[in-house]
A and B are shown apart, each in its own frame.
Chain A
Amino acid sequence: MTRYAPWNEGRASEIISAHLAEEGPALPILHALQEEFGCIPREAEPLVAHALNITRAEMHGVVTFYHEFRAHPPGRHVLRLCRAEACQSMGGERLAASLLDRLGIDWGETTADGALTVEPVFCLGLCATAPSAMLDERVKGRLTPAKLDHLVAEARGA
């Protein structure tokens, strides 16, 4: 099971049109596309560019400026580990390094079973319950190696 739809130009056009009446619709469109497809597919950029009446190069510039927009769909679950200072002060970097090491992946990569992508994030606003993470859209705080393992096992089992 993957969470995201395969590329579908008709569906993409629908998503784009749904936002065109808004002021400054580019980011809302890109977010909606990523929600559908898990990333901003290359094929989507000319469609959005055309709808917004900007060049493809400009569109590509916008997509690549923002850390959040992916070029490829992630695994079934996304674990975002906080790498910012408050989490560093509570050992977040060590926790992350050891997890990546055990999973055999680097930041932004997906486990071989396609279950889990691990991405960096710089602060989740959970800085007094550090180290913190977000699994899909569920926030997690006061992480320990055991709690993190549990989260990962849950994501890989599901």
Chain B
Amino acid sequence: MTRIFIPRDSAALACGADEVAEALAAQARARGLALEIVRNGSRGMFWLEPLVEVETPAGRIGYGPVAPEDVAGLIAAGFPAAPAHPLALGPVAEIAFLKRQTRFTFARCGLTDPLSLADYRAHGGYRGLARALSLGAAETVEEVVRSGLRGRGGAGFPTGVKWKTVREARGARKYVVCNADEGDSGTFADRMIMEGDPFALIEGMTIAAFATGAAKGYIYVRSEYPDAIAAMNAAIGLARGAGLLGPDVMAGGFAFDLEVRKGAGSYVCGEETAMLESLEGKRGMVRAKPPLPAHKGLFGQPSVINNLVSFASVPFILAEGAKAYADVGFGRSRGTMPIQLAGNIRHGGLYEIAFGVSLGELIDEVGGGTASGRPVRAVQAGGPLGAYFPRALFDTPYDYEAFAARDGLIGHGGLVVFDDTVDMARQARFAMEFCALESCGKCTPCRIGSVRGMEVMDRLIAGENRSANLALLRDLCNTMKWGSLCAMGGFTPYPVMSALTHFPEDFGPHSLPAAAE
């Protein structure tokens, strides 16, 4: 029986993976081929999806991107051994995009059957939790502190420090909340873990619960991810059945259970306090801090809230030791980041690498430039609240501080590439429009400022009264930046001002010299 891998990741499904699996199964039946089709997660090389892999004694051999109509031809060429077929890629592990990565958090993603606990364990799963149990709760928190792991949701706050606060906080009960709202355009790392290695999240959250003394966890997943929600629910059921969730987790003497909650199409509910409100059944209005969620979070109880990738990074840290994680990285950014290459890019996908790689290397070398074949003009880093980088800043190292020094942010690790047909004034307008659409409405600079910002951009695009409108735009951005309660209103000026600063030519000829910074 030859094992064939065809991803169940939704990016693969969106490109026809189910149809390919069906066509292959039908051909196998018709020709009496002994094939076992495993639906794995994605390796994250989305330009090759659907990527069909064949297990051989010499490792896994890839074919891709395979369309359903390619299947008959592949079989005719000798599949599962069709090295001469034009879609043959050779050994998958040797593909440069994969080979150059340092996969700590995504080590299993794409390799295993996401819903097989046996597979998860065979690839190192639950070694992290076992070590945590042997270290004890306090030392587990210290291990996460020592790893230098910073939150992967955007703000980059040290995860271990957050856990310590919750551990020391007092409450009738405590919660662990996973932020899987993943609203940023250009990001899909959370989704890939949920669909491709869901036990990694379960294990990471279980370690967090053990370390902080929480008994209940919620995973808040955006409703735009139905496949991820289904996979997560299935994995939770399997973990419960195996005693890995429930009243006595791994016979370690502590109780922890998990529940998936579905968002409802609100971007601002990715902000942690808005998320808590939403979980409590309210409008997703941002809360003023203090109190910190670590002190008074969900239902007023001490709560750990972390991004999904933060949690999913923890099993590796516990299993391999904090040092193994902290040994790679750049400056204060320790460990690896699953960078997501998206938009108009030739080799789009997930690229996990130690911090410090330059933006230019990521876009030009790893990503191979644009999908359209035209020159790269701008890269939006860190989602809709992130800055647009021009080629002139491609030497920026991928690092929280280095991006901040250039008025940008790495956010959740998304990079969206635009070619030279992009109109940056329209992108600036979109940033304002998105803020207007998603503002929770609590503060005026964000709620009203974004609407005014759209109007100003409309006038600029129409070529009306440029210098006055540019002055107004700068003024508005300043007010939003300093007068907003959260990063929704506070960071929307990043895409707007970076577009204006680096691409003034798109804001009309008169704006060039006069627009003094």
Residue numbers of A with Cβ under 8 A of B are: 23-28, 30-31, 52, 61-62, 65-69, 80, 84-90, 121-130, 132, 134, 137-142
Q: How many residues on chain B are close to A (CB under 8 Å)?
A: 58
> Do B185 and A122 touch (CB < 8 A)?
yes
* Interchain nearest-CB distance for A158 vs B (Å): 17
CA distance A132 to B10 in the complex (A): 11
Determine if B472 is an interface residue (Cβ-Cβ < 8 Å): no
A129 to B299, alpha carbons, bound, how many Å? Answer: 39
Q: Are A89 and B422 in contact (CB under 8 A)?
A: yes
Evaluate contact between B46 and A129: CB separation under 8 angstroms: yes
Contact call B13/A128, Cβ cutoff below 8 A: no
Question: Which among A31, A67, A86 is the interface contact of B262 at CB below 8 angstroms?
Answer: A31
Which of A86, A128, A140 has the most B CB atoms < 10 Å from its CB?
Answer: A128
Q: With both chains docked as a complex, state the minimum distance between the C-beta of B385 and any C-beta of chain A, in angstroms.
A: 11
Smallest CB gap from B350: residue in A: A128
Contact A62 B224 (CB under 8 A): no
Report how far A25 CA is from B416 CA in the complex, Å.
36
Smallest CB-CB separation from B18: which chain A residue?
A138
* Residues in A neighbouring B343, C-beta threshold 8 A: 85-86, 89-90, 127-128, 130
Q: How far is the CB of A104 from chain B (nearest CB, A)?
A: 24
* B125 within 8 Å of A (CB atoms): no
Note all chain A residues with C-beta closer than 8 A to B258: none
**What's the dominant secondary structure at chain B's contact region?**
mixed
Q: B196 interface residue, CB < 8 Å from A?
A: no
The 7 tightest CB contacts between A and B, nearest first, are A26-B281, A128-B348, A141-B14, A68-B265, A84-B185, A66-B264, A127-B342
- Asked whether, in the complex, the Cβ of A65 is within 8 Å of the Cβ of B262, the reply is no
Closest beta carbon of chain A to B450's beta carbon, Å: 15
Q: Is the CB of A126 within 8 A of B10?
A: yes
Nearest A residue to B377, CB-CB: A89
Q: Once the chains bind, are A128 and B188 in contact (CB under 8 Å)?
A: yes
Q: Shortest distance in angstroms between A57's beta carbon and chain B's nearest beta carbon?
A: 12
User: A139's closest neighbor in chain B, by CB?
Assistant: B14
Nearest-Cβ distance from residue A23 to partner chain B, whole angstroms: 7
Chain B residues with CB under 8 Å of A90's CB are 343-344, 371
Q: Whole-angstrom distance between the alpha carbons of A124 and B15 in the complex?
A: 14
Q: Decide if B187 touches A62 in the complex (CB within 8 Å).
A: no
Question: Which of A84, A88, A89, A138 counts the most chain B CB atoms within 10 A?
Answer: A89
Q: Taking the complex as formed, is B62 at the interface, i.e. its CB lies under 8 A from any CB of chain A? A: no
Chain B's nearest CB lies how many Å from the CB of A16? Answer: 12
Tell me whether B184 is interfacial, beta carbon within 8 Å: yes
With known contacts A27-B264, A66-B265, A123-B185, A89–B341 Cβ distance under 8 A: no
Contacts of A23 in B (CB 8 A): 299
B14 close to A126 (CB less than 8 A): yes
Residues from chain B with Cβ under 8 Å of A24 in the complex: 279-281, 299
Contact of A85 with B283 in the complex, beta carbons under 8 Å: no
CA distance A61 to B341 in the complex (A): 37
A26-B281, A122-B267, A124-B225 known; 19 new pairs, CB 8 Å cut-off, are A26-B280, A27-B263, A27-B279, A65-B283, A67-B265, A85-B430, A87-B185, A89-B416, A125-B190, A126-B14, A128-B11, A128-B188, A128-B342, A129-B11, A129-B14, A130-B342, A130-B344, A139-B11, A139-B14
